[in-house]
Chains A and B, each alone.
Chain A
Amino acid sequence: MNLFEDKIWLSTGVGLFFGVILLTFFISNNYTVNTEYSIAHRKHDGLKRNIMWIPCDPDLDDPTFSLCDDRHVVKHYQSQPWYKEQGVDISELIVNEFADCPKVANLDGFITIRFLVNCTGNVGRIRTYELDRSYQKTTFPQITSKVVEFLKQHSPWNPGVVKDQPYDTFCYLNCRVEDGIIKEVKI
């Protein structure tokens, strides 16, 4: 039998060939950057498929808060947004604000606040996570909601900047709670 005259082999071969081409195109389209268009679309999809992403929740979020470009949200360590009042950083401001709170024995752990700072410095999509000293879920009644309110009131921030361009930025603050008092805020 002449192998190359066999129609079944030919159609199978052509199908496989185009299949391989299509698969290669699909993979390269997802993981290579060729043009500005592909960058935007890759990040648009990629960002929302990243654990960094904080999706909008109409029940929780301020409807007036919006991102300047939700295809290009960067991480805090890439663009370094900040907030200061008379030279005092947000982490110190939080510690100072809650320093005189009444002590609550054995109320220890960590409050993590994840949020977005948009390119104009507004803060939104705030989410909180409360853990005890063993990193198990817990609650810090009174404290967490007050910190969130404090954060909302201390806005706008200086937006995160990359190469002189302001960007929407993902941030988080981690508060160490000891006996019901915030002792330190890590950025």
Chain B
Amino acid sequence: MKLFRIIAHGMILLAVLILVAAIIFFKTKNPREQSEFFYELQKLVPAGSLEELWILDKAIQLDSTNALAYREKSISYTRNGLFEEGMKCINAAVKYDPINQLGYRGHVKLFSIGDYEGAIRDFQLLDSLTPNFRDAPWGNDIYYVMGLAYQGLGDYQTAYDYLNKSVLETSLERSEEWVNVEIFFYRGIMSLKLNKKEEALEDFNRAINYYDKFSEAHYYKAKILKELGKLDDAIKSINSAKKYFAMGYREIHPYYRLPYQLHEENIEELVDELMMISAD
């Protein structure tokens, strides 16, 4: 019994000591470090929960310039369609850390909201803040996202020019193999919009060459071949698109719909059209 009491008291004293040490250690940290502690703490609770927002508010209260805390709050709001609150938070993040947060704001405007002019302004501002450096907002090449933003505005020539710039600069810096195949795909789509079918076909072929399970590139290739009257090749391409699409090789994003995202109906429709033409 005495041994039990010794162990119990020992454990309690140890716990109290650890707690006191932790509090003293926390208090010795500067407000920025304390804020960062709360920023890390929010990763333990569900995204969008009131607990997460409370912890992030605490982080902001300790250091009102913690851009990451503002951005994390904005992510929770924008992913739930609450753009007014989301933009307030991301604007604050941009205010305190423009170089690291402008790209994310542009990305949200481009893909989630459809504010293409706003996205272009953000990407241009980011580019101007980092001279002689090619930015990658939220992981994508800046010329690629600029191209997609102009595509959203319906300015296909400028969109093509930016996508082309992305391909050329990457090819020059490294090699064509380093180009993201999606950029070939979208450059092909822009060529198609500008009625340059041969160039579009070249880009879809290039994309397929580097990634043969690219359902969307096979689909648009089939569309062009159909228009060029190359029926057998078009059927081959649409069959590839159908096969890989059914296997799950699709260009999708978990949080938003991508431009020119393919649906099963699109493929079925083209299959039917090609079957009808070949039957005639």
Using a CB–CB distance below 8 Å, which chain A residues touch chain B? 3-4, 9-10, 13-14, 16-17, 20, 31, 46, 49-52, 75, 77, 84, 87, 89, 91, 110, 112, 114, 129, 131, 133, 135-137, 170, 172, 174, 176, 184, 186-187
Contact = CB atoms under 8 A, between A and B. Distances in A.
B131 interface: no
B16 A87 contact: no
Contacts of A114: 80-82
Contacts of B247: none
B263 interface: yes
Given A50-B49, A133-B118, A4 B5 contact: yes
Contacts of B114: 110, 174, 176, 184, 186
A131 B84 contact: yes
5 contacts: A17-B8, A135-B88, A174-B114, A176-B114, A186-B114
Nearest to B257: A187
Contacts of B51: 49
Contact of B81 (A10, A14, A50, A129): A129
Nearest to B117: A133
B276 to A, nearest CB: 16
A172 B51 CA distance: 23
Contacts of B87: 135
Contacts of A110: 83, 113-115
Contact of A16 (B15, B50, B53, B111): B15
Contacts of A3: 9
Main secondary structure of the interface of B (DSSP, over half): helix
B77 interface: yes
Contacts of B115: 110, 133, 176
Given A20-B15, A46-B49, A49-B50, A131 B76 contact: no
Nearest to B80: A52
A16 B8 CA distance: 10
A129 B84 contact: yes
A110 B84 CA distance: 10
A50 B48 contact: yes
Contacts of B50: 49-51
The 7 residue pairs across chains A and B that have the minimum distance between CB atoms: A172-B81, A87-B265, A135-B87, A176-B114, A49-B50, A50-B48, A52-B80
B21 interface: no
Nearest to B51: A49
Contacts of B256: 186-187
Given A110-B115, A131-B83, A135-B84, A51 B76 contact: yes
Nearest to B255: A77
A187 B255 CA distance: 9
Nearest to A172: B81
